Amino acid sequence: MAAISAAQVKELRDRTGLGMMECKKALTAAGGDIEAAIDEMRKSGQAKAAKKASRTAAEGVVMVRLADDASKGVLVEVNSETDFAARDENFLGFANQFADAAMASGEADVAKLVEGDIENSRQALIQKIGENISPRRISVVEGDVVGGYVHGNSRIAVLVALKGGDQALAKDIAMHVAAINPSVVNKDEMPAEIVEKEKEIIKAQPDMEGKPAEIVEKMMGGRINKFLAENSLVEQPFVKNPEVKVGKLAKDAGAEVVAFVRFEVGEGIEKEEVDFAAEVAAQLKG
């Protein structure tokens, strides 16, 4: 069985808020699989929903571009190896060049866009700053009204498409998405496999044990509805005014939320964390 690292325990602790020993025990039982450990901890009632964000070690920036007529928006992510490089004016110049090219072309395929001038600029930048620079992804959003928001440090960016309304409303909703990170616009868009997985977790929780099937189904129905509401944009209390839900906010302005895209720098990318103290100790032992 693979050894459980301190970094794994720390990540599980950060995501669940539970103690170090509970986290280590759960990781050991799950063979080091953090997601599986979280599922089992939730089934046993130890943990509620864990934080969505997994370890995000890649650096870089995300950028937004909006059409003058508000009919289209483009979201891009460009990665660097270190945060220091991501703040370099030459890197930011390249990221802006990439975002402008994506907006001008409407191309969502990174491989197709990174050709010619873009690739030449990338290679020149790599030579200059000594780090690998990688345009990672592009999302193109179109609609009646498309608005966007970039968090101050350019690590989170969002595009929101509305039917009706205006860009100010779209930007407000994009700010909400940046802060709260919903999974879907409407609850009926939640993938069936995610709903089924949540049902399994709920059924396995301690307070379900020994109850008649019809009671379990009734309790599960309430908890599933709560889960869907908490993760659906239009059902969430608006971050700037929790008295009103996002869907109602849009409706009152004569609009409807059609779609959103949220990029966070490095999400889904894991970079090996090196424990230099442990490494040196191991070398000394050797």
Q: Which domains does the chain have, with CATH numbers?
A: 1-55 (1.10.8.10), 59-163 (3.30.479.20)
Say what the pLDDT of residue 281 is: 59
pLDDT grade for 279, boundaries at 50, 70 and 90:
low
β-strand 256-264 against 241-245: which pairing, if any?
unpaired
Contact 73, 147 (CB under 8 A): yes
Instruction: Count H helices and E strands in the chain, helices first.
Output: 12, 8
Contacts 24+ apart (CB under 8 A), 125-133: 125/90, 125/91, 125/94, 128/90, 129/80, 129/85, 129/88, 129/90, 129/91, 131/80, 131/81, 131/82, 131/85, 132/80, 132/81, 133/78, 133/79, 133/80, 133/85, 133/91, 133/94
Say what the pLDDT of residue 248 is: 97
Whether pTM > 0.85 for this model: the answer is no
Instruction: Find the length of the chain.
Output: 286
pLDDT grade for 81, boundaries at 50, 70 and 90:
confident
Stronger pLDDT, 39 or 175, i.e. the higher one:
175
For the chain, the C-alpha Rg in angstroms (whole number) is 22
Whether the per-residue pLDDT at 220 is higher than 90: the answer is no
Say what the pLDDT of residue 217 is: 82
Whether the per-residue pLDDT at 276 is higher than 50: the answer is no
| Residue 57: strand, helix, or coil | coil
Which of 105, 56, 45 has its CA nearest to residue 269? 56
Say what the pLDDT of residue 216 is: 78
Say what the pLDDT of residue 218 is: 85
pLDDT tens for residues 83-133? 999 999 999 999 999 999 999 999 999 988 988 889 899 889 988 888 888
Average pLDDT over residues 270-285: 55
Say what the pLDDT of residue 23 is: 87
Whether the per-residue pLDDT at 9 is higher than 80: the answer is yes
